[in-house]
Amino acid sequence: MQKSFIQVEKGSHFPIQNLPYGIFRKQKDEEPRVGVAIGDYVLDLAVLHESGLLKIEGEQDDSSIFRQRYLNAMMEAGSTVWKAIRKQLQQLLDEGEASLRDDMELRERAFTKIDAVELLLPVEIGDYTDFYASKEHATNVGSMFRGKDQALMPNWTHLPVGYHGRASSVVVSGTEVRRPNGQMKPPGHEFPIFGPSKQLDFELELGWFVGHGNVSGEPIRLEEAEEKIFGLVLVNDWSARDIQAWEYQPLGPFLAKSFATSISPWVVPMDALEPFRVQGPKQEPTPLSYLEHKKAAAFDIQLDVSLKGSTMESIETFISTNFKYMYWSMAQQMSHHTINGCNLRAGDLLASGTISGPEKSERGCLLERTWRGEEPITFSNGDKRVWLEDDDEVVMTGYCQGNGYRVGFGEVRAKIAPALEM
């Protein structure tokens, strides 16, 4: 197993096998730049490039690609550049490589403790598409609202269902999320009312950034899709269920989803996930030919959700599930997204939709976990939850477990702030 000269604690999400990209700055007035997480440190790629140790082939060999507010410039350089950068970083950080290890002056400039920097939104997001790709989630939600016999809509097993989200309200982990106001129509009311959502929920998801897209009118073929993915992040796609129940017909989610989507700050490259590729669920009926996989396209990523309320002494994990359960793969979602000629662009965010498994403890949102409020969750101090309360803090984490190491995503966390008085 490859090891770095940087000490990486057992259980760390950021060993040399990972090397996720992010945007950081040490002080508020300092220019942001591209960094890579290794153990408890962030490695400044601009400093490393300017030292001559990190090289980019061709005309793009310019440190300005790393002195950016967002990762977009690096993403637009293409997968050949991403792979070359990653390969060099793994060589430079190896415990047996002396060039960076033994240059103490350079190490002092290039490495900073992660807890001493500010991590920023990593990508300038052009468009955001959210899918509905978990069969367990779709079945559970459909059963609640339409009954078991009509749980899945007729199209669900034939295509990845999705909708266009709001890119402007995607925020980085740690950003406070304010409870939204909106219209709701409670049971027994003849007319809708206006006020703060009373059924605020989270959705456990994974998202992936398009690194380089497709020309308008030319779809992305299934076998090419993964090569266009720059990397993955954790996603919490917040939902106001009572607002959504009133507004979604006939066009789907709108204000109930557009107020906030939280993502983790570190973007895990596809190459780091390759050892954890697994076969996904059997798809019946067999998808149409443009969606039919010839290889395994799911990934074994363990995912957990924890909560800490204002009266709870410690945070408690109450949902554990896995990305491998997803019925529709990332590649299938991308291919279907573009089959009509829609062009994806560098920086676009696609998300999986709520990730749920077959067990109750694996349901990835409160709507499912409490079965629409009929089965409240009881925490160790006696607190109960059906929906999120003000000052609740929700934390999501995810990782792949290797032989002696983990490839992790860090976390996405946010606290709920009270709604504005209107």
Which pLDDT does position 57 carry in this prediction? 77
Q: Answer whether 21-120 and 128-417 agree in fold.
A: no
Q: What is the mean pLDDT of residues 145-158?
A: 94
Q: Is 137 in the active site?
A: yes
- CA distances (Å), origin 15, targets 193, 207, 213, 268, 339: 51, 21, 29, 12, 37
Instruction: Tell whether the model's pLDDT for residue 66 goes beyond 70.
Output: yes
pLDDT, one tens digit per residue, over 211-239 is: 999 999 999 999 999 999 999 999 999 99
Structure tokens at 24: 């950081």
Banded pLDDT at 60 (limits 50, 70, 90): low
Annotated domain spans of the chain = 21-120, 128-417
* 384 torsion bin: left (phi>0), alpha (psi -120 to 50), beta (else): beta
46-55 pLDDT, tens digit per residue, is: 999 999 999 9
More confident site: 57 or 365: 365
Widest Cα–Cα separation across the chain: 74
Q: In the chain, what percentage of residues exceed pLDDT 70? A: 99
In this prediction, residues 296-316 reach a mean pLDDT of 97
pLDDT digits over 75-90, tens only?
998 899 999 999 999 9
pLDDT surpassing 60 at residue 325: yes
Q: Is 80 exposed, middle or buried (0-12, 13-18, 19+ CB in 10 A)?
A: exposed
pLDDT at position 361 is: 97
Quote the tokens at residue 306: 């924890």
State the average pLDDT for the chain: 96
Please give the CATH number for the structural domain made up of 21-120: 2.30.30.230
Q: Are 232 and 267 in contact (CB under 8 A)?
A: yes
Confidence (pLDDT) at 335 = 98
Q: Which helix (H) or strand (E) holds 61?
A: none
Q: Quote the pLDDT of residue 59.
A: 56
Q: Residue 398 — very low, low, confident or very high, per pLDDT cuts 50/70/90?
A: very high
Q: What span, in angstroms and rounded, lies between the C-alpha atoms of 250 and 252? A: 6
Predicted pLDDT at 58: 63
Enter the tokens of residue 418.
Answer: 């009270």
How confident is the model over 23-48, as pLDDT tens digits? Answer: 999 988 899 999 999 999 999 999 99
Per annotation, catalytic residue among 13, 49, 137, 337: 137
Average pLDDT over residues 346-350: 98
What HEC string does 147-175 produce?
CHHHCCCCCCCCCCCEEECCHHHEEECCC
Q: Is the pTM of this model over 0.85?
A: yes
pLDDT in tens, 251-268: 889 999 999 999 999 999
| Token duo for residue 234 | 């954790």
> What pLDDT is stored for residue 107 in this prediction?
98
Partners of 130 in beta bridges: 163, 351
CA-closest candidate to residue 273, choices 245, 298, 253: 298
Return the number of other C-beta atoms located less than 10 Å from residue 266's C-beta. Answer: 30
Hey, what CATH topology would domain 128-417 get? Answer: Fumarylacetoacetate hydrolase; domain 2 (3.90.850)
C-alpha of 333 from chain center: 15
232 CB-near residues (< 8 Å, 6+ apart): 206, 207, 208, 209, 267, 268, 270, 273, 409
